[in-house]
Structure 1
Amino acid sequence: MATLRFLVAHGTADTAEEAIRICGKVLRQAGIVADSFIEKCVAREKEFPTGLPTDIPTAIPHCKDDSITENCICFLKLDHPVTFRRMDDDTETIQTDMIFNLAICDPNEHIDVLTNMMAFLGDTESLQKCRILPDDQVITYLQEHLVPADEETAQEA
């Protein structure tokens, strides 16, 4: 798999769409995506929700978009939870203050990253650490737990 970069953001949102737009803006400002990525993530979320009803609920919005310049996950810590529809049952919802917005270039790598994310997000202790660690330590923690040891990663807080 190609390099996987991590960004950490903080914000306030009232809806899932606002949370996705915050992530998208951070990714765009880092030069990783264009506005088309943001719009495609918002549209995809309406059709294929990404809320995960794990012990600590999370959401993993993502989409395929040609504007993605490098593989990146933007981790957003919200000041208060927002409602996402559930991935496994779109008639149900979850409340989450932790969003992992995936921007992955290659569709094959996208599946690998999603697989790794699902295992990671099912671990309550890992999510607790993401919630409480300072940003630079969250990036290191995510690198250690989501990237195979033999791969180099780029980081940014």
Structure 2
Amino acid sequence: MATYSSVGETLARENLTDQVTASSTQNLNSWSGKYRGAVVEDLDPPPALSVSPNDSISSAQLAAYERDYSHLTVISSSTRALIGYLSIPRLKTLLREGKVSESDPVKAAMQRFNRKRTNVYTVITMDTPLEELERFFKGEPMTAREGQ
């Protein structure tokens, strides 16, 4: 059975649609000024703490605990290049399961970065605008300028 709307109902529905569209436009305008030119540095992040792959797990765990860090960067002892990271929650699981011990080196528990040329990394610096950082965390594509 077909239903018919009166002229008044149709006009009311169109008016509601116009209000929703206006509201959406207003929300977009408020998002454009969301960060007001702020950059990553304005978040005042704590400095990164790096460990060597040959450091003991116990020393890395202590350093993370003292600074209340959940992740530590792992850098090469010789070149100081970033080679991976150590996730403290994952480390606790590995210790609990007996897969590593506190006397083992960090390299036994770290996550290594895949350094193949086909992988493209997004560089985020202290000067990266927060709008770009938000797009990065949402998994949205970055423009060529943003990822440099």
TM-score by length of 2: 0.25
| RCO comparison, higher one (Cα < 8 Å, 6+) | 1
TM-score by length of 1: 0.24
